[in-house]
Amino acid sequence: MKIFLLEDDFSLNKVIKNSLQNKGFFVESYTDGYKAIDVVINSKYDLYILDVNVLGFDGHKVLEVIRSEDKDVPVIMISAEIDIENIKKSYSLGCNDHIKKPFDFEELYLKIQYLFSHKISEEVTEKVDLGYEFAFDLQEEKLYKHEHEIDLTLKEKHLLTLLVKNINNTVTNEMIHEYVWDSKEMEAVSMRSIVHKLKKKLKNGMIINLRGVGYKLIYQK
């Protein structure tokens, strides 16, 4: 997952960036709105974390630019402001969530997990090409090879759905726990078992293990 972070407090910026990277995310961070606007216009990210009060264009202006280009990408606003009107503005401009500073990193991480795990692509109407003559129907959660359906268990369907939605990006163990097991109690061996079974139904090397972090579904043209 590629995350854009705008936070003008250098110390907090570093803490958030390092913490997210330790969770397996790819993070690009910025401290001023002028640079942020330039990057947002010319690049795409899977999620944006925006501080409201920054130098140059503030977080609200950056949010406006993001929404002018993409109505669905998740955006989390962070601010020390307690003014309810400021919070209302964030939501009226289209943010998905708002966190008041100071906050615990786990709170931010839980919100990111939720947004990623529940993000459904409404634009997908066809099978997703996975390479090696495999395809996956996201709406029906069905795996095909040479147009022949491959049987999947319910949890294999959920896991592959999550991996396909995040193709070529890291899916953390926590994201899998949330999405496939609905955060219910499970043993680590259960996750490894489902991943192993799914790997056997795909070509060797399509799903790679990122030790201690999670997994990634690789697609190469």
What CATH number is attached to the domain comprising 71? 3.40.50.2300
Are 141 and 99 in a shared domain?
Answer: no
208 is in which domain, residue-wise? 128-217
Are 99 and 154 in a shared domain?
Answer: no
- The one-digit pLDDT tens for each residue of the chain (221 residues) are 789 999 999 999 999 999 998 887 889 999 998 989 989 988 888 899 999 988 888 999 999 999 998 988 999 999 987 778 888 999 999 999 999 988 989 899 999 988 877 664 444 446 889 999 999 998 888 999 988 999 999 999 999 999 998 899 899 998 899 888 877 888 878 999 999 999 999 999 999 999 889 999 998 76
Residue 176 lies in a domain: yes
Using alpha carbons, select from 67, 65, 87 the residue that is nearest to residue 77: 87
Q: Answer whether 101's CB lies under 8 Å from 80's CB.
A: yes
Are 132 and 61 in a shared domain?
Answer: no
Number of structural domains the chain divides into: 2
Are 37 and 142 in a shared domain?
Answer: no
pLDDT at 51: 94
CATH number of the domain within which 150 lies: 1.10.10.10
Are 108 and 133 in a shared domain?
Answer: no
DSSP state of 127: P
Q: Which helix (H) or strand (E) holds 128?
A: strand 128-131
Give the residue from 81, 98, 118 where a domain finishes: 118
Residue 184 lies in a domain: yes
Give the residue from 95, 118, 141 where a domain finishes: 118
Using alpha carbons, select from 40, 56, 46 the residue that is nearest to residue 3: 46
**What is the SS3 assignment for 153?**
coil
pLDDT at 122: 46
Are 42 and 141 in a shared domain?
Answer: no
pLDDT at 124: 46
- Tell me the whole-structure pTM to 2 decimals: 0.59
